Structure 1
Amino acid sequence: MAALDEGLWSWWWRTSNDRDAIARNVLTLLIPFLLLLLPWLLHSRSSARLPPGPPGWPLVGNLLSLKPNLHEHFTDLAGRYGPILRVYLGTKLAVVVSSPSLAEQVLKLHDKVFANRNPPAIAQRLSYGCVDIVWTSDGPTWRMLRRICVRELLGTTAMDTLYYLRRRDVRQVVADFSKKSGQPVNIGEHVFVAMIGTVTGMLWGDTAEEGEDLRKDGARFRRLIGDLMELLGRLNIGDALPALERLDLQSVNRDADTVFAYFDGIINSMIETRSKMVDKGKDFLGCLLRVKEEGDEKTALTMDQVKALLLDMVIGGTETTSSMVEWAMAEMLQKAETLKKAQKELEEVVGLDSIVEESDVPKLQYLKAVVKETLRLHPVLPLLVPHCPSSSCSVGDYVIPKGTTVFINVWAIHRDPAFWDNPLDFDPERFLREPHWDFTGKDFRYFPFGSGRRICVGMAMAERIVGYCLASLVHSFNWRVPEEEKLDLAQKLGTVMKKAVPLLAVPEPRLPKPEHYI
């Protein structure tokens, strides 16, 4: 055997200088590759209790087979591998949960373990180092940020106080549409511009020049918000293979820096102006600056956190809200009888001689069902914001290792025929037949805003403004799709699920008094 070994390996020691040089070069190339491959090989050998999933390639994992609309792709994979499955995003493990019982384990039974984040590199650039309420992991800092947001901006008292802003901007949309009677209008874009006014008024005052400039340049602002959301939702090679992150092969960092510079400039301008004032004001920015100046060690607020919270509210209060209204209008135009039923209810509750006020919305049971059904079919964040366990945890029959990215496929759960009759039909009356469903995330067959401690902090605000805006549009106008247009319900996922094709519709005033359109 020794002689055999010597014969097999003697070529190495007896080669010419040229062959020896070639061998050394090959080893030089192979060693780094093997070092990169080693974690994947070790992980594969220790994955006996990981959920099942599609086979992947070394280093790149399943990246090459992923499709753009991840929520649909993950739903297809769940049909093959079951309601909990794993995929490899490069060398990083991700787990997808697609059933109510498993979602309940993640978001309720093990809520504290999974109430953390594993932010992508792009989030670091777009959220001031992930110090905002979205990307900060569970802990004292995150609880402080949430407490400030609820107390000063998103709680019942603050929302009641700021109703005049919502009313002003919704009435402006109605007035704008009345001037374009008989002409196609881009519903999502107009609602988005209105939300700019509402949100900036809530954040830093309704008389700010910057807020007015943003409303005038609403199309550009919406495009940049869309770019930001698309960047956050993009699968970045730098996340999958951290060693390549600095190379920016997809120009993600470059694009992010351009978008970030725009929003950072706006926020810095507002902070600089306000910081010079003795009276910081009673709006959200003023509150944040006071907390920063007066806070003790337990409630210390950094300037980056102030900026990050403002940017969170700008994004969350504009793009997501306008998308919800656009989807609801599109579905009602697709199914005309739902629009007629909503208008009939408004005639009975509000009357044609009056305009809708936000206080009318809780009485509009059918319209509330329309909003719920819209969010069932088109949840704003179909995969929620990914969770991350702080320690290894058992879910179902499997172990989810610490640091795994966990997607909850709300979109798939909301369309599962095991839990919903005719799940692909737009049927608001299902929520009248079973009115117990709400947005609180207690029933894991329906939780469009998430559940547990990381449930969307802006849920109550979204419910108010979407219901009020939608009621005003439905009550004030008859709507139809332009003759030359075909209604398209295709979807496009960035982080927020948007219509792939903007909704164009023709408004015709239906209220008798002209002053209802001023």
Structure 2
Amino acid sequence: MQMMSMMFLLCSIIFITIIFFKIHKRGKNSNTPPSPPGLPMIGNLHQLGRHTHRSLCSLSHRYGPLMLLHFGRVPVLIVSSAEVAKDVLKTHDRVFASRPRSKIFEKLLYDRHDVASAPYGEYWRQMKSGCVLHLFSNKMVRSFREVREEEISLMMEKIRRSSSLPVNLSKILMSLTNDVICRVALGRKYGDETDFQELMERLSKLLGTFSVGSYVPWLAWVDRIRGLDGQLEKTANDLDEFFERVVKDHEDGDHRDRNDFVDVLLAIQREKSVGFEIDRLSIKAIVLDIFVGGTDTSYALMEWVMTELLHHPECLNRLQEEVRTICKGKPRVSEEDIQEMKYLKVVIKETMRLHPPLPLMVPHESTQDVKLRGYHIPAGTEVMINTWAIGREAVTWGPDAEEFRPERHLDSSVDFRGKDFELIPFGAGRRICPAISFAVVLNEEVLANLVNQFDWRLLVESTEVRTGVAESTGIAAPRMFPLYAIASTTN
């Protein structure tokens, strides 16, 4: 009993000392952005709910579009408006171009040898330049046209076989995205292999997991106790084993007329054609990046487009009329047809506004002290840009910002390719996603074909329209529950 009393007294003294220190420190340096009160040791971590982007958006309504939180010992700047995002991603782009350290990224993404999570520096510049030039150029996007068309045709046939019966559209779109990415990146499909599916699901889940030890080092034992460390270790080993096997198969194979991303990267390694060394670890890291950035995000966006269209039949009817008028009875929508489809493009744009592929961008980090909107931001500050909140800014989008209304974009010059900060689903500045063109072409072609060949409706007993649609958790935010819909052939 005496020991317990002593422990309680000691904890109380520590608690009071920390509170005094925090108040004293705040008084000495008041030139920091507004900040919600935090708790000792953990800072503002207790204020993050199940969906972090929603929690941060709510806090920004009270503390402003630029606020400072503390996740344990780490200062985190939260950006929730287009104007402040422009300051970070354009005005001070170089200062905020790096990435913070993350135990999860380091373990799963080859110690940050990929492009997305690598710190700002010469390695990252060379890797990104190589990817833009050799993997995501317009020429490469066009070269995979046949792959996209074949996989979309297979998807359409799968839906046709279930005509007039409920189909799990979420599963179908996820399968399509995985198959396209596998063929483009690895040369063949792995989607039917149970081990591969399970591995990708584990990867996606872990990338969206919060690591306590990354922010509160003295609580790192929590990650061990809850099994996170063990899961990271196993998943990292399984990923490396899989991608090592893929690379080895490409090295030993006859290569026929195959020209997937692994082939391209191995050719760069052999020929040293880009002026720098690219080793085996970097090849695996870059290919893994393509899966991380191209699967969940693409399928989730298409899933949300179909969800919004099914909830807004007038928009679905207008889109079908446009697509079918331009196609003039053709069973397949071509890329050339899509160029004329203005309403299709604004439907996708409006969905990106309300359901950005990454509600919170991959965090940035300041590399030096900087003045931002009159506030002092020290080097080493983590920056989270809430694209979900930016897409719902009433000052930008009007009082109906929460509503799905594609027509708002018909006479708007705002684009999503990084120049207009009101809509940045793919990021902006130096760290903008290099695969925008690849993603957009696939999304447009899939959606145009879905509405051209089928009439769609929700199940009669569906309550989604009344109750809303729950989001899942993770880096991307797809629906929590699969989208079931009924497709009827048009002939």
TM-score by length of 2: 0.91
Task: Give the Å deviation of 1:140.
Answer: 2.0
Map of 1:288 onto structure 2? 265
In structure 1, distance between residues paired with 2:122 and 2:409: 37
The amino acid of 2:209's aligned partner reads: R
Worse overlay, 366-375 or 261-270 = 261-270
Task: Give the Å deviation of 1:54.
Answer: 1.1
The amino acid of 1:495's aligned partner reads: I
Mapped pair 1:265 → 2:247: no
1:268-327 alpha-carbon deviations (Å, 9 max, x no partner): 111122223576963211221232344399511122211111111122222111111100
| Aligned counterpart for 1:424 among listed residues 402, 409, 415 | 402
Mapped pair 1:495 → 2:475: yes
Task: Give the Å deviation of 1:28.
Answer: 10
Q: Does the 8 A contact of 1:236 with 1:250 survive in 2?
A: no
CA spacing shift, 1:258–1:47, aligned 2, 3 Å: farther
Q: Does the 8 A contact of 1:122 with 1:252 survive in 2?
A: no
In structure 2, distance between residues paired with 1:185 and 1:269: 35
CA spacing shift, 1:217–1:283, aligned 2, 3 Å: closer
CA spacing shift, 1:237–1:160, aligned 2, 3 Å: same
Correspondences of 1:99-248 after superposition (within 5 Å): 99-206=81-188, 211=189, 214-217=190-193, 221=196, 224-245=199-220, 248=224
1:6-25 alpha-carbon deviations (Å, 9 max, x no partner): xxxxxxxxxxxxx9x99999
The amino acid of 2:208's aligned partner reads: G
1:456-491 alpha-carbon deviations (Å, 9 max, x no partner): 111111111001001111111111111233224222
Task: Give the Å deviation of 1:397.
Answer: 2.1
In structure 2, distance between residues paired with 1:250 and 1:74: 25
Q: Does the 8 A contact of 2:141 with 2:437 survive in 1?
A: no
The amino acid of 1:507's aligned partner reads: A
Mapped pair 1:505 → 2:482: no
In structure 1, distance between residues paired with 2:298 and 2:6: 61
In structure 2, distance between residues paired with 1:328 and 1:75: 23
Worse overlay, 324-333 or 45-54 = 45-54
Mapped pair 1:334 → 2:316: no
Task: Give the Å deviation of 1:51.
Answer: 0.9
CA spacing shift, 1:227–1:23, aligned 2, 3 Å: closer
Task: Give the Å deviation of 1:263.
Answer: 2.8
Sequence identity (%): 30
In structure 1, distance between residues paired with 2:39 and 2:474: 25
In structure 2, distance between residues paired with 1:83 and 1:108: 17
CA spacing shift, 1:26–1:470, aligned 2, 3 Å: closer
| Aligned counterpart for 2:438 among listed residues 461, 473, 486 | 461
The amino acid of 1:424's aligned partner reads: E
Map of 1:400 onto structure 2? 377
CA spacing shift, 1:427–1:58, aligned 2, 3 Å: same
Task: Give the Å deviation of 1:245.
Answer: 2.8
Where 1:197 maps in the other structure, the secondary structure is helix
Mapped pair 1:484 → 2:461: yes
Q: What is the aligned length?
A: 484
In structure 2, distance between residues paired with 1:340 and 1:316: 31
Task: Give the Å deviation of 1:97.
Answer: 0.9
CA spacing shift, 1:82–1:380, aligned 2, 3 Å: same
CA spacing shift, 1:349–1:253, aligned 2, 3 Å: same
The amino acid of 1:65's aligned partner reads: Q
Where 1:497 maps in the other structure, the secondary structure is coil
Q: Does the 8 A contact of 2:331 with 2:453 survive in 1?
A: no
Task: Give the Å deviation of 1:124.
Answer: 0.7
Task: Give the Å deviation of 1:159.
Answer: 0.8
1:157-186 alpha-carbon deviations (Å, 9 max, x no partner): 001111000111111110000001111111
In structure 1, distance between residues paired with 2:76 and 2:419: 25
Mapped pair 1:379 → 2:359: no
Worse overlay, 483-492 or 221-230 = 221-230
Task: Give the Å deviation of 1:242.
Answer: 2.0
1:25-55 alpha-carbon deviations (Å, 9 max, x no partner): 9999999999999997886565422211111
Task: Give the Å deviation of 1:187.
Answer: 1.2
The amino acid of 1:489's aligned partner reads: V
Map of 1:15 onto structure 2? none
The amino acid of 1:312's aligned partner reads: D
Mapped pair 1:363 → 2:363: no
Task: Give the Å deviation of 1:391.
Answer: 0.5
* Bigger Rg, structure 1 or 2: 1
Q: Does the 8 A contact of 1:60 with 1:91 survive in 2?
A: yes
In structure 2, distance between residues paired with 1:163 and 1:352: 22
Worse overlay, 30-39 or 380-389 = 30-39
Where 1:407 maps in the other structure, the secondary structure is strand
In structure 2, distance between residues paired with 1:300 and 1:32: 52
Q: Does the 8 A contact of 2:108 with 2:232 survive in 1?
A: yes
In structure 2, distance between residues paired with 1:110 and 1:30: 43
Where 2:478 maps in the other structure, the secondary structure is strand
Map of 2:297 onto structure 1? 320
Q: Does the 8 A contact of 1:225 with 1:319 survive in 2?
A: no
In structure 1, distance between residues paired with 2:237 and 2:5: 50
In structure 2, distance between residues paired with 1:278 and 1:217: 23
Map of 1:75 onto structure 2? 57
The amino acid of 2:168's aligned partner reads: N
Worse overlay, 179-188 or 365-374 = 179-188
| Aligned counterpart for 2:228 among listed residues 220, 230, 252 | 252
Mapped pair 1:309 → 2:283: no
Give the superposed CA RMSD: 2.8
Map of 1:86 onto structure 2? 68
Task: Give the Å deviation of 1:360.
Answer: 1.5
Q: What residue ranges of structure 2 are gaps of 5+ in the alignment?
A: none
Q: Does the 8 A contact of 1:384 with 1:407 survive in 2?
A: yes
In structure 2, distance between residues paired with 1:35 and 1:229: 41
Q: Does the 8 A contact of 1:410 with 1:448 survive in 2?
A: yes
The amino acid of 1:302's aligned partner reads: D
Task: Give the Å deviation of 1:446.
Answer: 1.5
TM-score by length of 1: 0.87
Map of 2:250 onto structure 1? 274
Where 1:95 maps in the other structure, the secondary structure is strand
